[in-house]
Amino acid sequence: MQFTFTEEQEEFRRYLRRFLDAKSPAVEVRRLMETEDGYDPAVWRQLCTDLGLPAVQIPETYGGQGFGFVELGIALEEMGRALLCAPYFASAVLASNAILNAGTEEQKRELLPPLAAGEVVATLALAEESGRWDSAGIAMTATRTGSGYTLDGVKSFVLDGHTAGLIVVAARRAGTVGDAGLSLFTVDAEAPGLNRRLLRSADATRKLARLEFSGVPAGLLGKEGAAAAPLAKTLDQAAVCLASEMVGGAEHLRESALEYVQMRMQFGRPIASFQAIKHKSAELLLDVELAKSAAYYAAQAADDDADDLPAVASLAKACAADAYTRTAIEAVQMHGGIGFTWDNDTHLWFKRAKSSEVFLGTPAYHRELMMQRWNG
């Protein structure tokens, strides 16, 4: 297990940070969060063609760059730091990994190259109105027809579900529960019977949608009734990636708060010199560094497909969510009165911290999952 980044990985981080500093300043985040699509197609094309980011962890055989989750984690950490508005997590993390984990060889060769090139944006539709992020929460039914399948039900909290061109959907055979009868399907966004609606959420930088399926034609991804294990692996990988994104956001908040208290004067000296502020700063540094360690370890475990990946994925998700939320709360306080206003950019990251806290499962859910997995 390696605990340091290589020079190539560090150079990748520096290049990506320069790109995101130029393309995703706070003023641009504020502009895009007010739009329905939620991202800039021109920046998305640059991100795909100039940097090849949607292809990072996809094998070269399927049009990808053939790197791994460590490099994907670096990309997401920098995106979280810049609060990039783009359908990257939905397409490059959720959908691509679901296809890699569940698809047949022929399906991977057909579906992954357009995703790697950024020509098609995809997403994964899993959660329903119960808000659960596991197989037990899936009630959508798949019915076999003469030429394929039709889907009936509702998916909610679908990341970028209103703009994605391809949707990977988890559904089950009628009359089954839990992991039994669970399959993944691919659905064209223009398929008849599919109604998509953008949801209003607290974090406008992360677009969520509600999808209603009424006899929607779908293609089976992988084997029928065998999606439980690939889906669980996809969610573990996604938790690792989200932990990296949250670490980047927390680090940005910590640095911006520290910069502010070093500049803000009170009683003739910077408020950073007060003991109370020093304590807060030290605690934030400890929180963020611990979350980084957990996220980096989990990314390496995902790269190695290690046996303890399920447990460390939950550990990283819970640790990063707690650290991001605490950092956001303290950053608002350290900014004083201005920190409570919407005019201050801290609130952009504060709301992302709150949405990331519950996306893919709350910290309490993942701590419980982690204990179950470690105890076998």
pLDDT tens, N- to C-terminus, the chain (376 residues): 557 899 999 999 999 999 999 999 999 999 999 999 999 999 999 999 999 999 999 999 999 999 999 999 999 999 999 999 999 999 999 999 999 999 999 999 999 999 999 999 999 999 999 999 999 999 999 999 988 999 999 999 999 999 999 999 999 999 999 999 999 999 999 999 999 999 999 999 999 999 999 999 999 999 999 999 999 999 999 999 999 999 999 999 999 999 999 999 999 999 999 999 999 999 999 999 999 999 999 999 999 999 999 999 999 999 999 999 999 999 999 999 888 888 899 999 999 999 999 999 999 999 999 999 988 7
pLDDT at 213: 98
**DSSP label of 215:** E
pLDDT at 2: 59
pLDDT at 375: 81
**Considering only CA atoms, which of 74, 77, 69, 81 is closest in space to residue 23?**
81
**Considering only CA atoms, which of 213, 198, 186, 43 is closest in space to residue 114?**
186
Phi first, then psi: give them for residue 16, nearest 5 degrees: -65, -40
> Collapsing DSSP states into helix, strand and coil, what is residue 343?
coil
State how far the Cα of 38 lies from the Cα of 352, in Å rounded to an integer: 14
What single letter denotes the amino acid at residue 71?
A: E
Global confidence as pTM: 0.97
* 112 touches 58 (CB < 8 A): yes
Determine which helix (DSSP H) or strand (DSSP E) holds 309, and give its type and residue range.
Answer: helix 309-334
Q: Centre a 10 Å sphere on the Cβ of residue 24 and count the other Cβ atoms it contains.
A: 22
Q: Which residues contact 346 (CB under 8 A, 6 or more apart)?
A: 253, 256, 257, 328, 331, 332, 335, 339
DSSP string, 117-170: HTSS-EEEE---TT---SGGG---EEEE-SSSEEEEEEEEEEETTTT-SEEEEE
pLDDT at 280: 95
**DSSP label of 95:** I
State how far the Cα of 150 lies from the Cα of 130, in Å rounded to an integer: 22
pLDDT at 1: 54
State how far the Cα of 357 lies from the Cα of 369, in Å rounded to an integer: 15
State how far the Cα of 376 lies from the Cα of 372, in Å rounded to an integer: 6
**Considering only CA atoms, which of 343, 131, 328 is closest in space to residue 246?**
328
